[in-house]
Amino acid sequence: MRNQSSVKQEFLRKWITGLRRYSCEKKNMSFFERKKAIKLSADLAMASTRDKTTRWSQALIANNTDNVFIASSSSSSPKKSSSSRSRNMTTLMRRSRPTRVKSAKKEMSSARCIAKRLMEKRTRKLKNLLPGGESMDEGCLVAETLDYIQSLRDQIEVMRCLVTASQLIINPS
Amino acid sequence: MLHCVNMTVLERQQARSRKCHQQDQDQDQDYQRSSLFDVFSSSITMDGYDDSSLHMPIMPPPAPAPAPSSSSALSRTTTSITPRVATSLASPTLGKKRKPLTQKVVAGGGGAEQQSENKKDKKVKVSGEEDSSKITEQTNKEEVASAENSKGSSEAQNHKPDYIHVRARRGQATDSHSLAERVRREKISERMKYLQDLVPGCNKITGKAGMLDEIINYVQSLQRQVEFLSMKLAAVNPRLDLNIDDLFAKEVFPACAPNFQSIGMASSSDMSNNPAAAAAAYLDFNSVQQLVSCSNGLINNIGMSMNPSPDMGLRKTIATPHSVSLPETFLDSSSCFTQALPPSIWEGEFQIQNLYNVAFDQPRASSFPPSHPFTGLVEASNLKMEMEM
C-alpha cells in the first residue's frame, strides 16, 4: 500500500505548482475560470502521483495536456508521452475488441441474456466514468477502478483540508 | 506493466498430466509451489501477447492482503511443470525467447513422475494464442535432488519464476480454456472484494451487478465532490496562488508560544467535516504548526476585543482603499456559501499583521498586501498539519 501521507503531500505540491503556473499566466480570472483551473490542476496532480503506472492516470494526463502550462509543470513531458499513450490506447482498443465480439456471438438462454445485458450496461457505465476506461477489459477495469477510487479519496481529502484551512483563516471565530 | 502469462499453456499441460497422475503424488509439489504466487505479481513478463482474454495487468496490490490471500486461494491450483514439459513447450512453435530456457529445462532430469509426464508432453500442442510468451522454469526440491544437471535446476530455482501455475480443482473442468477463465474470474472476484471494502455500504451486497451499481454511484459521488470542492476553493481564494513555498521556508514568523486553548476554540468552531481531526492536527508539533497555532491564538484574542459590524457596506468600505478584487471575493463566496462571511474576517486579517510588527493604528491601509502571503502561508501550514495526521 502506498504511503498515504506522502502521496497526499506529493499531490498537494504538484497541485500548488500547477496553480501557480496558471496564476502567472492569467490575471483576473473569473470565478468559473478559477474553478476550472483548480479542478484541472488537481486532477493532473493526482494522475501524476500515480506515476503513469495506471491506465486511468495516463488517460487523464493525455486528455488534459492541451493546456501547455500544466504539462510543463506537473509531470515530465506529458505531451511527449501523451502521443505514445494514445498509441498505447489504440493498440489496447484493438486488443480488447475481439473479446467483446466473441461474447456477443455466444448463444445464451433468455435469463442469462438479460443478466449479461445488465452487466454490460453497468460495465459500460463504469467505463465511461473512468478516464481511459473504454479500452479496458473487465479484470483491468476492476483493478483500475480500485486505484481510481483510492486516488479520488486522497484528492478529496487534500482539497477538503485546503478548503478548511482557507476558511479557518478567513473565519477564525 | 506486468501481465499474467502463459496460463493456458501450463494449464493445458496440467490438464493432460493430471489425467494420468494420481493426485497425491502432486500434492507435495502443490504446497511447495504455493509460494510461487508470492512472486506472481512481480515477475511476469510478456512479449507480444495477443490474447486479450488473459491480458490482465497486474496492479500493485491495493492492500497488503493480496499476495498472501492469492497464494492461499490458489495453493490448490498450483501445478508442477517439469523441465521436460518446458522442453516440449519450447520445441514447437514458440518464439526465440524460449530457447535459452531449454538448456535449463533439460537439466531437470527424471523422476518417475516426470517420465510419465514426458509421454504426455510430447503430445502437447501449443495453440497460437500463447505463442510468444516467455517461460521460465520452476523446479521443486525433488527435481533439484534428482536433477542430472544440478547447475541448471538450481539456476532455475534462483531465477525469478515467470509461470503462473494453475491446477484444476477436483470436480472441475480441466480444459485449459476453462482453467484460464476460472483464474481470471477468481482474480476479478478478488478485486471486487477489495472494492467491497473500499466502497462504503457494500458489505451486504453479494451480486456482481449490485456491486457494480454501488461502485458506479460511489465514483460519481466522488467526482462530484471534487467538482464541488474545487468550486469552493475558487470561491474562497480570490487569487489562485497559495504561496505554499513560503510555508516551506518556515522562517517568516517569530516563534511564539503556542496557545492551545485558543486553538481548540478555533478548531471547534471550524465548519469542516472533521473538526476532531483538525483539532488533533493542531496538537502535532512542528515549527510551522507552532507558527500557525500562535497566529490563530492571536486572531482569536484580538478578534474578541473588536466589535464586528454585520454590515455588508462596512465590508465594502473596508475593501475599497485596497485596489484588490476583494469585494468580488466576498460576493462570490457569499453566493456560494450559505453562511455570510462576517466582517470579523477583516479584523482577523488585520490582527495577523501584528506578527509583522506593523503599526496597528493603520491596519487597513498597510496590512492588506502582506496579509495575503501570510494568509496563504497559514492556510498551507494548516493543511500540512492536517495532512500529517
Q: B78 by DSSP, 3-state: which?
A: coil
Greatest mean pLDDT among A1-15, A136-150, B301-315 lies in: A136-150
Residue B198 to residue A158, Cβ atoms within 8 A: no
Q: For residue B378, which of B290, B247, B259, B273 has the smallest C-alpha distance?
A: B247
pLDDT at B88 over 80: no
Q: Which residues of B touch A144 (CB under 8 A)?
A: 59
Average pLDDT value for chain A: 72
Greatest mean pLDDT among A52-56, B45-49, B239-243, B259-263 lies in: A52-56
* Tens digit of each residue's pLDDT (9 = 90 or more) over B54-85: 444 444 444 444 444 444 444 444 444 444 44
Q: Which residues of A touch B64 (CB under 8 A)?
A: 1
* Tens digit of each residue's pLDDT (9 = 90 or more) over B348-358: 444 444 444 34
Whether chain B has a CB inside 8 Å of the CB on A55: the answer is: yes
Residue A31 to residue B380, Cβ atoms within 8 A: no
How high is the pLDDT of residue A143?
86
Cell numbers found for residue B23: 493426485
* CA distance, residue B267 to nearest chain A CA (Å): 8
Whole-number Å distance between alpha carbons of B253 and B292: 9
How high is the pLDDT of residue B357?
39
Mean of pLDDT values over B36-45? 44
Residue A129 to residue B273, Cβ atoms within 8 A: no
Greatest mean pLDDT among A26-35, A45-54, A156-165 lies in: A156-165
Residue A149 to residue B218, Cβ atoms within 8 A: yes
Confirm if B219 and A130 have CB atoms less than 8 A apart: yes
Whether chain A has a CB inside 8 Å of the CB on B305: the answer is: no
Greater pLDDT, A91 or A45: A45
Greatest mean pLDDT among B116-125, B134-143, B206-215, B294-303 lies in: B206-215
Whether chain A has a CB inside 8 Å of the CB on B296: the answer is: yes
Spell B280-304 as b/e; 16+ CB within 10 A means b: ebbeeeeebbbbbbbbbbbbbebbe
* Tens digit of each residue's pLDDT (9 = 90 or more) over B254-281: 333 333 333 334 444 443 344 444 433 4
Whole-number Å distance between alpha carbons of B105 and B156: 8
Looking from the CA of B60 toward its CB, the CA atoms found within 13 Å total: 12
Residue A83: inside a domain = no
Residue A67: inside a domain = yes
Q: For residue A97, which of B185, B130, B50, B209 has the smallest C-alpha distance?
A: B50
The beta-carbon neighbor of B191 closest among A42, A95, A146 is A146
ipTM of the complex: 0.74
Number of Cβ atoms within 10 Å of the Cβ of A16: 23
Whole-number Å distance between alpha carbons of B258 and B294: 5
Confirm if B72 and B118 have CB atoms less than 8 A apart: no
Confirm if A14 and A48 have CB atoms less than 8 A apart: yes
The confidence band for B221, taking pLDDT boundaries of 50, 70 and 90, is: very high
Which residue range(s) make up the domain with A150? 4-71+109-170
Whether chain A has a CB inside 8 Å of the CB on B273: the answer is: yes
| Residue from B383, B385, B386, B389 whose CB has the most chain A CBs within 10 Å, to mutate | B383
Residue A142 to residue B219, Cβ atoms within 8 A: no
Query: What is the tally of structural domains in chain A?
Result: 1
pLDDT at A57 over 60: yes
The beta-carbon neighbor of B59 closest among A126, A143, A152 is A143
Cell numbers found for residue A2: 502506498
Residue A47: inside a domain = yes
Share of chain A above pLDDT 70, in %: 69
Residue A122: inside a domain = yes
Mean of pLDDT values over B339-355? 42
Residue A37 to residue B240, Cβ atoms within 8 A: yes
Q: B131 by DSSP, 3-state: which?
A: coil
Residue A15: inside a domain = yes
Q: Which of A22-26, A147-151, B322-326 has the lowest mean pLDDT?
A: B322-326
Residue A99 neighbours by CB under 8 Å, 6+ apart: A137, B52, B53
Planar angle of CA B227, B228, B229, nearest 5 degrees: 95
**Alpha-carbon B321 to chain mean position:** 49
Residue B199 to residue A149, Cβ atoms within 8 A: yes
Greater pLDDT, B68 or A161: A161
Q: Which of A88-102, B5-19, B204-218, B263-277 has the lowest mean pLDDT?
A: B263-277
Q: Distance between terminal CA atoms of chain B?
A: 33
Q: Which amino acid is at B108?
A: G
How high is the pLDDT of residue B27?
56
| Residue from A7, A146, A147, A156 whose CB has the most chain B CBs within 10 Å, to mutate | A146
Residue A24: inside a domain = yes
For A94, nearest residue in chain B (alpha carbons): B52
Residue A100: inside a domain = no
Q: For residue B11, which of B201, B203, B179 has the smallest C-alpha distance?
A: B179
How many residues can be counted in chain B? Answer: 389
Residue A104: inside a domain = no
The confidence band for B24, taking pLDDT boundaries of 50, 70 and 90, is: low
Whole-number Å distance between alpha carbons of B332 and B346: 16
How many residues can be counted in chain A? Answer: 173
Range A24-32 contact pairs with CB under 8 angstroms and sequence separation of 24 or more: A24/A69, A24/B241, A25/A69, A28/B325, A29/B240, A31/B234, A31/B235, A31/B332, A32/B234
Whether pTM exceeds 0.80: no
Residue B82 neighbours by CB under 8 Å, 6+ apart: B108, B113, B114, B117, B118, B121, B139, B143
How high is the pLDDT of residue B223?
92
Cell numbers found for residue A168: 479557518
Residue A163 to residue B232, Cβ atoms within 8 A: yes
Cell numbers found for residue A95: 486488443
Planar angle of CA A139, A143, A148, nearest 5 degrees: 140
